[in-house]
């Protein structure tokens, strides 16, 4: 394993992805801030901008663009760091993928700004956008596939040279994440290519709405693990090195990733519990599988506690919680991802509530759900990605994280947590009182219940404003680390496995078995209901409500 900096060209590839990701973060956050103010009743949007137009921009730029670009950049950097310089093929695929994704993002964003695609990031039919919106999204997905092919080939070349050895953990995880992504995006590709594009071009009049939504969530749920797994890569492999400890168990980490490949996908119905037209039995089955996919997260929590405790005790900690004091609290490379972990405890618990049938009736389509994912993706994942940026960006640009930027990073993290505590806390609470998500400011004719929601929506705006300040801080830090911080070297931390851990069984690397099992589970969970939907669900013409 090489410990020096990445090959400069590999570094540029990763950096290009991260740069687009942060631009999307900035634009998306402006929309988020405005939304929070609109909902509190303190702002009316000028210049004919619609609330849903903003919300579409926010969801697409943050949930789809910021995440995907950052992740692919990070995965490429991780592959290069642990399997050696990228092969010419992998590098070329990475750049072709990058440009396809960037052009796709540009087309999609322009369509949203032109108000021709105000269909939200879930683009539910029968809302009908300009075909170019869907074409842009297709380019993003196809670009990510090309990048995936580059990573798979890089991995295959390493495997050939190192027969009989388990691959480096970070590369294994990158490959698992991309496998999950490819299987998941097949669903969205099918609905976009065969349903949305022909329909939005007017080649067919009607669309099977339920089929399109089902294919969307076949993709939409594993999508959230595509965001989460790179954060887990940081927690399992990078954090142990930063805290001066060791990885608790290589096998456990790999098994967790394999379980995500198996159970992430056949669970989309937990977003459709209240969708009519799907037989309760199949919903029940997918909910059971949803509870299976909680297991690898619980394993992760266990492994992290073990890592923290073992490393603390090796440094002389005593008592039940003495190890907490041995953690490097003033190092933002640790502190930001750690706060992400902490937030994932209520975030994950909220997910379990959502997935429980009766409780879903209470929370579905309320601001509770919006609160849930601002904890999971917008805090757990986002803070971990910030945590990665603090060392990855200077590592790639040959600069250093100065004590001043480190301190600013700590303040940034604190701001994010306070802002999100207020915003997400208010969303969760007012959601339980019935306040709907995806709704601009309205008092429903001064209905007493709706008036009761308003103070919470004001708290949301206060939280949103604090979050926006934190966005400006992270951008300041990242730009500094990219172009202005002092020249130097910044380590790409990769942890070693604890010597007490068991040897990794090679079975875990047998992708044929895992992909095969994943396909079997998908076939079991989806075949009958999808046939039923194709045969029986009615089709609808398109609508443009904006
Ligand atoms: Fe979710 C809706 C269920 C996880 C994101 N989710 C959403 C949406 C998004 C989203 C974006 O079943 C909305 C989509 C839309 O626009 O409609 N979610 C779950 C479940 C989990 C879950 C069961 N979600 C996530 C993650 C996301 C995410 C992760 C993004 C990254 N979610 C749902 C359901 C809905 C839903 C329903 C539909 C709701 C509706 O009706 O519309 C599970 O994966 C959660 C498992 C996690 C845990 C936590 C483990 C804790 C760990 C941290 C350990 C901490 C340490 C530090 C070690 C069980 C690993 C502590 C140290 C100390 C010293 C204290
Ligand atoms: C929705 C605020 C950051 C992902 C929303 C809503 C608000 C909001 C007010 C809309 C509620 C509604 O009417 O339903 C903010 C603020 C942020 C921020 C102020 C920080 C400055 C993020 C981040 C992500 C994210 C970092 C993801 C990485 C989403 C998603 C939606 C959403 C996916 C749902 C869009 C939809 O329903 O179509 N946000 N947010 N947000 N936010 Fe954020
Ligand atoms: Cu889900």
Does residue 545 lie in a domain region? no
* pLDDT, tens digit (0-9, with 9 covering 90-100), for 76-92: 999 999 999 999 999 99
**Ligand 2 centroid to 166 CA: how many Å?**
40
* pLDDT, tens digit (0-9, with 9 covering 90-100), for 104-135: 999 999 999 999 999 999 999 999 999 999 99
Test site for ligand 2: of 30, 71, 374, most ligand atoms within 8 A of the Cβ = 374
Domain carrying residue 529:
8-540
| Number of structural domains the chain divides into | 1
Does residue 529 lie in a domain region? yes
**Ligand 2 centroid to 57 CA: how many Å?**
10
Ligand 2: atom nearest CA of 381 is 28
What is the structure's pLDDT at 57? 95
Distance CA 77, CA 81 (A): 6
What is the structure's pLDDT at 2? 41
Does residue 184 lie in a domain region? yes
* Catalytic residue annotation: 221, 225, 372-374, 437-438
Distance CA 381, CA 144 (A): 19
Average pLDDT over every residue of 51-68: 96
Locate tokens 């993002």: which residue?
A: 105
Query: Is pLDDT larger for residue 50 or for residue 181?
Result: 181
Q: Which residues in 238-322 belong to E strands, given as ranges?
A: none
Does residue 438 lie in a domain region? yes
Distance CA 537, CA 500 (A): 56
Residue 75: φ, ψ to 5°: -65, -45
Q: Would you say residue 44 has pLDDT above 80?
A: yes
Test site for ligand 2: of 22, 26, 30, 32, most ligand atoms within 8 A of the Cβ = 32
pLDDT band at 255 (very low <50, low <70, confident <90, very high): very high
Q: Which of 201, 185, 57 is nearest to 134 (CA)?
A: 201
Whether the CB of 348 sits within 6 Å of ligand 1: yes
Radius of gyration of the chain (CA): 23
Beta bridge partners of 207: 540
Does residue 346 lie in a domain region? yes
Does residue 1 lie in a domain region? no
* pLDDT, tens digit (0-9, with 9 covering 90-100), for 225-239: 999 999 999 999 999
Does residue 546 lie in a domain region? no
Complex ipTM over 0.95: yes
Q: Would you say residue 155 has pLDDT above 90?
A: yes
Q: Would you say residue 3 has pLDDT above 60?
A: no
**Ligand 3 centroid to 489 CA: how many Å?**
40
Test site for ligand 2: of 27, 52, 62, 385, most ligand atoms within 8 A of the Cβ = 62
Q: What is the CATH number of the domain that holds 448?
A: 1.20.210.10
Pocket of ligand 2 (CB under 6 A): 29, 32-33, 35-36, 39, 55, 58-59, 62-63, 66-67, 120-121, 370, 373-374, 377-378, 382, 437-439, 464, 467-468, 471
Average pLDDT over every residue of 407-435: 96
Q: Do residues 230 and 71 make contact, with C-beta atoms less than 8 angstroms apart?
A: yes
Average pLDDT over every residue of 528-545: 93
Whether the CB of 366 sits within 6 Å of ligand 1: no
Average pLDDT over every residue of 399-425: 97
CA-closest residue to ligand 1 atom 48:
348
What is the structure's pLDDT at 5? 60
């Amino acid at each position: 394993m090489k410990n020096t900096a990445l090959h400069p060209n590999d570094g540029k590839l990763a950096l290009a992805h991260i740069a687009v990701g942060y631009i999307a973060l900035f634009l998306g956050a402006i929309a988020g801030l405005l939304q929070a103010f609109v909902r509190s009743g303190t702002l009316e949007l000028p210049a004919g901008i619609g609330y849903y137009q903003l919300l579409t921009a926010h969801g697409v730029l943050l949930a789809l663009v910021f995440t995907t670009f950052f992740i692919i950049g990070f995965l490429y950097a991780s592959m290069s760091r642990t399997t050696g310089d990228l092969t010419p093929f992998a590098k070329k695929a990475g750049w072709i993928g990058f440009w396809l994704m960037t052009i796709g993002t540009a087309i999609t964003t322009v369509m949203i700004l032109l108000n021709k695609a105000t269909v939200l990031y879930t683009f539910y039919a029968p809302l009908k956008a300009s075909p170019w919106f869907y074409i842009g999204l297709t380019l993003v997905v196809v670009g990510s596939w090309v990048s995936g092919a580059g990573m798979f080939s890089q991995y295959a070349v390493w495997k050939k040279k190192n027969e009989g050895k388990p691959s480096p953990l970070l590369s294994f995880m990158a490959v698992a994440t991309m496998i999950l992504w490819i299987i998941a995006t097949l669903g969205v590709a099918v609905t976009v290519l065969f349903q949305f594009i022909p329909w939005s071009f007017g080649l067919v009049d009607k669309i099977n709405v339920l089929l399109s939504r089902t294919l969307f969530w076949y993709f939409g749920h594993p999508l959230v693990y595509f965001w989460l797994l790179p954060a887990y890569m940081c927690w399992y492999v990078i954090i142990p090195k930063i805290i001066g400890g060791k990885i608790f168990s290589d096998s456990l980490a790999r098994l967790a990733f394999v379980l995500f490949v198996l159970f992430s996908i056949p669970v989309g119905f937990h977003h459709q519990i209240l969708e009519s037209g799907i037989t309760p039995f199949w919903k029940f089955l997918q909910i059971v599988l949803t509870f299976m996919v909680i297991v690898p997260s619980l394993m992760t929590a266990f492994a992290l506690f073990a890592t923290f405790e073992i490393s603390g005790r090796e440094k002389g900690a005593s008592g039940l919680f003495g190890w907490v004091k041995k953690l490097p609290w003033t190092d933002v490379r640790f502190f930001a991802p750690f706060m992400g972990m902490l937030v994932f405890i209520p975030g994950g618990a909220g997910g379990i509530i959502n997935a429980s049938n009766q409780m879903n009736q209470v929370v579905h389509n309320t601001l509770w759900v919006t609160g849930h994912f601002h904890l999971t993706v917008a805090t757990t994942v986002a803070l971990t990605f910030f945590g990665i940026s603090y060392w990855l960006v200077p590592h790639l640009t040959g600069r250093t994280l100065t004590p001043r930027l480190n301190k600013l990073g700590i303040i940034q993290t604190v701001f994010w947590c306070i802002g999100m505590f207020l915003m997400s806390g208010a969303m969760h609470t007012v959601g339980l009182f019935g306040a709907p998500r995806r709704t601009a400011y309205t008092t429903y004719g001064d209905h007493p219940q709706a008036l009761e929601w308003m103070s919470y929506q004001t708290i949301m705006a206060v939280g949103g404003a604090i979050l926006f300040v934190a966005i400006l801080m992270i951008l300041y830090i990242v730009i500094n680390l990219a172009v202005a911080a002092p020249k130097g070297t910044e380590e790409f931390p990769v942890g070693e496995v604890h010597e007490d851990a068991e040897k990794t069984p090679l079975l875990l690397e047998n992708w044929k078995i895992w992909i095969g099992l994943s396909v079997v589970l998908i076939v079991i969970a989806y075949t009958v209901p999808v046939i039923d939907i194709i045969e029986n669900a009615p089709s609808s013409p398109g609508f443009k409500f904006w």
